[in-house]
Amino acid sequence: MEKFDLNLLRIFIEVYNLKSITLAAESLGLTQPGVSGAIKRLQQYLGKDLFVREGRGISPTYTAIQLAESVNPALQQIEMGLSNVHSFDIQSKRTFHVLVNEPMMQLLQPLVEADTSLGNCEICFGLTPPQEDDLFSILSLQKADLAIDVGIYPTAGYHQQACYSDHIVAICRKGHPRIDKQLTQEQYYAEKHITLKIRRSELYAADYFTEDTISQRQISCECESLLSMMTMVSESNCLGVAAGSLAEKYAEKLGLNILALPFTVKPISQKMVWHNRHNKSQAHIWVRNKLLDYLNQIENKQ
């Protein structure tokens, strides 16, 4: 039997995880023909097909699924072992890319800017994409180190950790002609609303984060930005719903009243998600702990 090239397994796992020759080539820094050739060599060695065409993409065969389940844990252990050998020095220049939702960006970015203990490291934030598949693709391709968001359901190969809990509140402008310090359900339905949709669920925030079924209400405007929605509420007689931490941060600046919603609310559970390859990376552990420290600071101020 010919000598087996272990690199074929690494390429196979990347194609298996991404379901794409193109994305695997980009992730590995190889050419598409190089990746295709590696898969063909592995198929010839095994004497079985590993992928079949499905629409514009590819799907793994039963043989590929069995092989991935056997090989993937071993490859991850090797990667973790290698990353553990290298110590992490904050004086070495490095940029960590973190995907977050808007509330997290508003809360975390000022703390990063004020932190004098980062050495030569930088933490840069970007918004999480609307589609979950795109998020996992970015993490798998290592275009971002980790993500913090709500409503993420990781597949195999990813780790998640609850990192921050918030709650939703109603907001209206100070001096609202009909609402002062309390909000009843009757008042809630009588007023017009400026809404914000939770991007992955296509539900309004009030519907997504409450236990009750909220009836249809008058929608004056639908926003994609939480801060834009809060600004528009401050300049109108409409109601809005916002994350409590962000409402408290901007209430004074925008002239907003914060009110308890007249419904049973669910917590806003922010979760940190990253690829398993980073579980024992000293650099990754450092940035995760940094972010957790920032979030603890925010919670302690509430």
222-233 mean pLDDT? 93
Range in 51-55, 210-214, 227-231 the model is least confident about: 210-214
292: pLDDT confidence band, cut at 50, 70 and 90? very high
- Per cent of the chain over pLDDT 90 is 61
pLDDT reported for residue 302: 67
To the nearest whole number, what is the mean pLDDT of the chain?
89
pLDDT reported for residue 210: 84
Give yes or no for residue 253 having a pLDDT over 90.
yes
Range in 81-95, 132-146, 208-222 the model is least confident about: 81-95
142: pLDDT confidence band, cut at 50, 70 and 90? confident
**What's the pLDDT tens digit per position in 50-93?**
999 888 889 999 999 999 988 888 887 776 666 555 568 899 89
pLDDT reported for residue 267: 92
29-52 mean pLDDT? 91
Q: Is 30 or 86 the better-scoring residue by pLDDT?
A: 30
Q: Is 292 or 142 the better-scoring residue by pLDDT?
A: 292
140-159 mean pLDDT? 86
236-265 mean pLDDT? 95
**What's the pLDDT tens digit per position in 168-202?**
999 999 999 999 889 999 999 999 999 987 766 66
Give yes or no for residue 99 having a pLDDT over 90.
yes
pLDDT reported for residue 199: 65
* C-alpha span between 36 and 33 (Å, rounded): 5
Which of the 8 DSSP states describes residue 146?
E
Give yes or no for residue 137 having a pLDDT over 80.
yes
pLDDT reported for residue 94: 92
The pTM of this model reads 0.74
**What's the pLDDT tens digit per position in 107-127?**
999 999 999 999 999 999 999
172-176 long-range contacts (CB < 8 A, ≥24 apart) are 172/233, 172/237, 172/238, 172/239, 172/240, 172/256, 172/257, 172/259, 173/233, 173/234, 173/235, 173/236, 173/237, 173/255, 173/256, 173/257, 174/255, 174/256, 174/257, 175/255, 176/237, 176/257
Q: Which domains does the chain have, with CATH numbers?
A: 7-85 (1.10.10.10), 94-165+268-301 (3.40.190.10), 168-259 (3.40.190.10)
Contacts of 262 by beta carbon, 8 Å cutoff, 6+ apart: 183, 184, 185, 187, 188
Give yes or no for residue 1 having a pLDDT over 60.
no
